[in-house]
A and B are shown apart, each in its own frame.
Chain A
C-alpha cells in the first residue's frame, strides 16, 4: 500500500514538473510577446499607474495605460497561469499522496520539505493573484519550482521512514509550515525586488533589451508591492522563530542555544528587520532596500540548503 502511494506520488511529482515547465515556457513567451508589443507601439504607453504621491504610497497596478490605444491581450500570460494552476493541483496531489504514505505531515526530511514547500510557494503565488495581479512573476516562480523540485528529487530523495521521536511534535507541524509560508512571501518579495532593480536599470537607460519591462508596473509600484508581501513574510518568520524556540525548549531543554539553524533563522530575521527599517530611512529606499530583500531571500535559501547539508547542528533532520 505504502509503496503504491509512494510511486503514485512520484509520478504526480514528475508530472507536476513537466506541467510547470510548460507554464514556464508560456511565461517566457509572454515576455517575448510583450517585448515585441512594446517595440511596435509607436508611442510607448506610459507605464504603470498615476504618479505616486509624495510619500510614494500610491498603489494602482494598471499594467498598461489604457488611454494609449488598444489594450493588448497578453494571452500567453493567461495560458501560463492556467497551466501553473493545473501543475499545482497535480503537485498538491503528489504532496497528499506522500503524506498518506508517510502517515504524517510530509515535511520531516529534506525531500519532503522541498516537495511541500514548493507546493506552498506556488500556492501562495496563485492565491495572491486574488489580491493583486502579479502574474508577471510566473516565469520566476515556475522556474524556481522546477529547479527546487528537480534538485530535491534527484539529490535528496529518501524512502518513507517512521518519524524519529525527536520530530514527533505538534511544533514540527506548526513551525515548519509557518516557516514555509514566510518563505513564500519572501520569495515573491525577492521576485518583485528583482523586477524593481531591472526597472531601475531600464529607467537609467542601462539596459536596452527586456522591452517587456515597459509593460510592467513602475519601479515605485514594484517596490511598494514588494514591501507589502515582505512584511507579511516577516510576521510569519517572526512566528517561526518563536515557535522554533518553544519547540527547542520542549525538545532540547533550552529555548535558544545558538545552534547553526537558530543562528541562521536569527540572521534572516535581522536582515528583514533591516529591510523594514531601510524603507523608512532616507537614502535607503529604492535599489538599496531591494537588494536587502534579495539578500534576505538568498539567506533563506542558504539556510535550507547549505546550512542543512554542510553545517553541524541539532537540526540534523535532512534524512540523508
Chain B
C-alpha cells in the first residue's frame, strides 16, 4: 500500500510540468513559439522531455511501476478472495462484548429457547444477505456467525483490474490508430486513400489496407450567425456540413447516401470517424495569361485570420507565360474601410466580399522538388508588380469582376460561383471549405468498456459494506436465555453499529422481547 500511495502521489506531481509548458502532443505550435521566445531555456527543457512529458521515459517509468505494483497487488488478492468466496463464516469469538456494536438482552424463562432464538437469528441474517453458519460453543451456547459484502472486495478487484484494462487498451489501440486531416471545398470530394490526406499520423502498426475505400463529397457548409443579440453580433452559432457518401459494395456497385457532419456530431464512415474541426472561404480565382489562355482556375482555401473571417491565401500560377505569377490575397467577407483606407471585415458572412491581391512575377521556386507550403509564398526570386511596394496598388476585386494585371501579363478574375443569385445577394458567391479530421481508433470501445467497469467496481467497492455479525444465545441458570449481538467491520464500515442494532431489534421483535443496551 505504501508503494502504491507513493507512486500515485508521484504520478500526480509528475503530471504537473506538462501543464506548465506546451506539449507537442496537444499544442505543437505552442512548442515552436516557446522555442522562439526562450531560445536558451527551451533546448534545456527539451533535453528532459519537458515538451513530451506524457511519453517521456520518466513519466512512463512512474506509471509502469505503479501498474507493476498494481498487478503484484491484484493477483494475490484475487486468489485470496476466490478462496474467501468459497469459505464459510469463521467461528464465533468467545467474547463478543469486545466487538463493535455489542448489545445484550435476556429473554425470560419460558419465553424462548436458545435453539429457537438462534434459528430465528439465522433466518433474519440470511434474509438480509448474510452467509450464515451455526456453532455450538464450549459451554453449550449456540451461535450464528454471519458475513456479508463479499461484493465489496470483488468490486475493488474489478476496479483495479479494469484500470489495467484501460492502460492496455490505450497502449495497444494507440499503435493501431491513425488519423489525418483533409480540406474539402464545397462541391469537391475526397477519396479515402493515403495520398489524399494533407497530413497523416499513423500508429505503429498502421498499414494502408486499414483505410476502408470510400469517397466523400462536401455538398454544402451552412453557417448560421447570431444577428439578434447585439452583444454577440456575428457569433457563429451553427456549422452544418452536408456531405454525400459513396460506399463501394461487395457486388461492385456503389451506395450513395446523404449525411451531415457538425461540431460535436461526427460522422462514422468505413472504420473511421469524420470530425468537423475547421472551415473558411476558398475564393475561386481564374488567371489568364497575356494571350488570353486560362493559366489557372481553381478555388483556393484561405486561412481565417480573425473572428470575422478576414482570410489569407496564396495563389501560385505555374503555367503562365512568360513568367510565373504568385499572389498573396486577403479576402474580406464583409469589407469595410478603416480610417487608414485599408480594408477590414466586420462580419463573417458574405455581405460585401472583397478580394485584395498583391501580385508578383518571377520564379515561384516550386520546380526544384523542395516541398513548399501551399499557404506561403517565397518571393525571393520574384518582383512585386501590384501592391504596396509596386507602382500599381493592390488589386481589389468583387465577385464576378475581372482586372488586367499590370504589364499586359494577363488578367485575374474573382469568380462568382453563384451568378444566378438575385442582384446584390452575394451570400453564395464564394465557396466555403471544411477541414475534416478523419480518425480511427479501435481501442475506443475497449477503453469505454473498461472505464464502465472501473466506475462500477469503484461504486461497489466504496458503498457496499463488508461485515461480520454474530448472534449468540446461551441458557442462563433459572431458565432464561441470554442473547448477545456484535459485529466486525472489514474495511470502512461506518454503518456497522447501526446494522447490529437493527438486527438485534428485529430479532427481539420476532421473539417478542425488549432490548436493553
B265 CB-CB contact with A under 8 Å: yes
B8 is contacted by which of A160, A161, A246, A270 (Cβ under 8 Å)? A270
B30 is contacted by which of A162, A252, A312 (Cβ under 8 Å)? A312
With a cutoff of 8 Å between Cβ atoms, the chain B residues found around residue A238 in the complex are: 454-455, 458
A57 CB-CB contact with B under 8 Å: yes
Interface set, chain B 1-57, CB cutoff 8 A to A:
1-2, 4-5, 8-9, 11-12, 15-16, 18-20, 22-23, 25-27, 30, 53-54
Whether B19 and A255, one on each chain, are in contact in the complex, defined by CB atoms closer than 8 angstroms, is no
B441 CB-CB contact with A under 8 Å: yes
With most chain A CB atoms within 10 A of its CB, the pick from B229, B262, B444, B451 is B451
Known: A267-B12, A311-B19. A253 touches B275 (CB 8 A): yes
Interface set, chain B 173-200, CB cutoff 8 A to A:
179
With a cutoff of 8 Å between Cβ atoms, the chain B residues found around residue A279 in the complex are: 492
Q: 1/0 per residue B473-510: CB within 8 Å of A?
A: 00000000000000001001110110000000000000
Whether B441 and A254, one on each chain, are in contact in the complex, defined by CB atoms closer than 8 angstroms, is yes
A66 CB-CB contact with B under 8 Å: no
Whether B54 and A258, one on each chain, are in contact in the complex, defined by CB atoms closer than 8 angstroms, is yes
A57 is contacted by which of B235, B277, B493 (Cβ under 8 Å)? B493
Residue ID in chain A nearest B16 by CB atoms: A267
Tally chain B residues at the interface, Cβ within 8 Å: 59
With a cutoff of 8 Å between Cβ atoms, the chain B residues found around residue A224 in the complex are: 494
A164 CB-CB contact with B under 8 Å: yes
- What separation, in Å, do the CA atoms of A160 and B231 have in the docked complex? 8
- What separation, in Å, do the CA atoms of A251 and B276 have in the docked complex? 8
* Segment of A74-82, A121-129, A227-235 engaged in the interface with chain B: A227-235
A44 CB-CB contact with B under 8 Å: no
- What separation, in Å, do the CA atoms of A2 and B230 have in the docked complex? 12
With most chain B CB atoms within 10 A of its CB, the pick from A235, A254, A283, A292 is A254
A313 CB-CB contact with B under 8 Å: yes
Interface set, chain A 221-261, CB cutoff 8 A to B:
224, 227-228, 231, 234-235, 238-239, 242, 245-246, 249-260
Whether A281 and B19, one on each chain, are in contact in the complex, defined by CB atoms closer than 8 angstroms, is no
Whether B1 and A281, one on each chain, are in contact in the complex, defined by CB atoms closer than 8 angstroms, is yes
- What separation, in Å, do the CA atoms of A73 and B170 have in the docked complex? 58
- What separation, in Å, do the CA atoms of A283 and B2 have in the docked complex? 9
Whether A258 and B18, one on each chain, are in contact in the complex, defined by CB atoms closer than 8 angstroms, is yes
Residue ID in chain A nearest B437 by CB atoms: A253
Known: A162-B237, A168-B264, A252-B275. A274 touches B2 (CB 8 A): no
Whether A53 and B12, one on each chain, are in contact in the complex, defined by CB atoms closer than 8 angstroms, is no
B226 CB-CB contact with A under 8 Å: yes
Whether A168 and B263, one on each chain, are in contact in the complex, defined by CB atoms closer than 8 angstroms, is yes
Tally chain A residues at the interface, Cβ within 8 Å: 63
With a cutoff of 8 Å between Cβ atoms, the chain B residues found around residue A313 in the complex are: 26-27
Whether B9 and A271, one on each chain, are in contact in the complex, defined by CB atoms closer than 8 angstroms, is yes
Q: 1/0 per residue B265-307: CB within 8 Å of A?
A: 1100000010101000000000000000000000000000000
Known: A53-B489, A57-B494. A257 touches B25 (CB 8 A): yes
With most chain B CB atoms within 10 A of its CB, the pick from A165, A235, A246, A264 is A165
Whether B492 and A57, one on each chain, are in contact in the complex, defined by CB atoms closer than 8 angstroms, is yes
- What separation, in Å, do the CA atoms of A58 and B15 have in the docked complex? 37
Residue ID in chain A nearest B232 by CB atoms: A161
B459 CB-CB contact with A under 8 Å: yes
Residue ID in chain A nearest B274 by CB atoms: A253
> Could you list which residues of chain A lie within 8 angstroms of chain B, going by C-beta atoms?
2, 53, 55, 57-60, 159-166, 168-169, 171, 224, 227-228, 231, 234-235, 238-239, 242, 245-246, 249-260, 263-264, 266-267, 270-271, 273-274, 277-284, 292, 307, 311-314
Question: Which 4 A-B pairs give the minimum distances between C-beta atoms?
Answer: A159-B231, A165-B263, A161-B232, A270-B12
10 residue pairs from A and B, CB less than 8 Å apart: A57-B496, A160-B229, A227-B492, A235-B459, A250-B266, A263-B15, A267-B15, A273-B8, A312-B27, A313-B27
Q: A164-B236, A253-B437 are in contact. List 5 more A-B contacts (CB 8 A).
A: A57-B493, A234-B462, A235-B455, A270-B9, A270-B15
